[in-house]
Amino acid sequence: MIPRLKGTDDILPPQSERWRRLLRAFDDLAERYGYDLALMPAIESTELFSRGVGETTEVVEKQMYTFEDRGGRSVTLRPEFTAGIVRSYIESGGQGIVKLAAAGPQFRYEQPQKGRRRQFFQVDLEYLGESAPGADVEVIEFSYRLLEMVGVSGIGLRLNSIGDSADRVAYRNLLQEYLRQRQSDLSEDARRRIDSNPLRVLDSKADTEVVRDAPVPLDHLGPEAAQHFSRARSALDGLGIPYEIDPRLVRGLDYYNRTVFEFYSSSFEAAQSSLGGGGRYDPLAELIGSRHPVPAVGVAMGCDRIVHAMPGVAEHRLDLYVAVADHDLTPQATEWVSRLRQRGFKIDWDASASRSVKAQFKAANRCGAAAVAIVGSEWSRGLVSLKVLETGEERQVSVEEVEEWMKQR
């Protein structure tokens, strides 16, 4: 027996039913909001991430699955979608507005625990080529609606602005100065970051004491970033999307500017509790080789965490299970099942048509059917026996009535 690798999962029934609902909801919503489908490579040049995500980030420093391929190139299993999607935008000409939706596994070498996996699944939106705050609001609203649609309760949204790169020069000096003064109270990780990536110290869980009094980017926004943030906020207010300002939210990836955000839920509490996050990342395209700036904003939602916060299945998975009482009626039952499926009903049956009716009822219960229709001696008169599993009620009805019943359920 060769077991699966640590931090990876086999997602099988019954859990996979939630996944199906989540992925379907994402797909529906992406289409409704005008995002086209993007299917991206799972493997990219290592340099794409070291330059795009940032040399000094936790992801690049410690978590990437990087190896040399047989041609001697350094390649990396994608730890996220954004850098690859921006690469594809530049590579295909990089013009105008492009809105893309992607879904797939990501890879980060983490210490595995609930909701923190080495292979995990993201659904992702990228809104490329638009600098207006309306784009930030759209991806935030989308994420909120997605969580709502799949039944996540107690949805929370943390929002912040970290300003533009130019505003950050002055702010960075100020923060470094403050952190140096408090150096002796800082964790070793934070001390190391003072020079390389001081902003990241703001969300260091080990340094909350020091961080509490640190200057925050929100108090040092340039006029344009400040106006952008205030417009985004009023649009969110107008849409009735509740949020809280978290001035210490900085995110773990280096490409962001202006708006950043994270979603959480009171029904999923873990050390790593954000169900999704994102923000504006105007600097990214030029970091990875674009000759002109590409304003953009996006979000990635973590499916492995969202499914923990989703309610179980209330509804029946199948509209009907067709049981065959008389083996000779197998051809007729085959055709009826096919007809019902083509009309859009969710139907299953015992394709071998050889088990006892009792065994077929067991199967119907196991796969969550709402009712069982028994094809038997009355079939020649157009009748079947319909048993509603929830109530136990059973009656002879015509095949047309079965359809009517399923429609009205």
Per rule CB under 6 A, count of chain residues that contact ligand HAM: 27
Pick from 51, 108, 220, 233 the residue near ligand HAM by CB under 6 A. 108
- CB distance 202 to 214 below 8 Å: yes
- CB distance 167 to 221 below 8 Å: yes
Pick from 103, 135, 210, 300 the residue near ligand HAM by CB under 6 A. 300
Q: 38-77 mask for ligand HAM (x: CB under 6 A)?
A: ----------------------------------------
- CB distance 374 to 357 below 8 Å: yes
Report, in Å, the least distance between residue 264 CB and ligand HAM: 9
Token pair belonging to 362: 């067991």
Residue 275 binds to ligand HAM (criterion: CB under 6 A): yes
Residue 87 binds to ligand HAM (criterion: CB under 6 A): no
Report, in Å, the least distance between residue 275 CB and ligand HAM: 5
Residue 304 binds to ligand HAM (criterion: CB under 6 A): yes
Report, in Å, the least distance between residue 77 CB and ligand HAM: 13
**Which of 28, 253, 228 has its CA nearest to residue 137?**
228
Pick from 19, 29, 80, 347 the residue near ligand HAM by CB under 6 A. 80
User: Which letter does DSSP use for residue 35 in this model?
Assistant: P
Residue 305 binds to ligand HAM (criterion: CB under 6 A): yes
CA distance readout (Å), 385 to 58, 83, 321, 323: 62, 58, 12, 10
Token pair belonging to 91: 């590579």
Residue 122 binds to ligand HAM (criterion: CB under 6 A): yes
Helix (H) or strand (E) holding 322: strand 320-324
Residue 283 binds to ligand HAM (criterion: CB under 6 A): no
Residues 6+ apart with CB under 8 A from 386: 371, 372, 373, 374, 394, 395, 396, 397, 401, 402, 405
Q: Rule CB under 6 A: which residues touch ligand HAM?
A: 80-82, 108, 110, 115-117, 120, 122, 124, 126, 252-253, 274-279, 281, 298-300, 302, 304-305
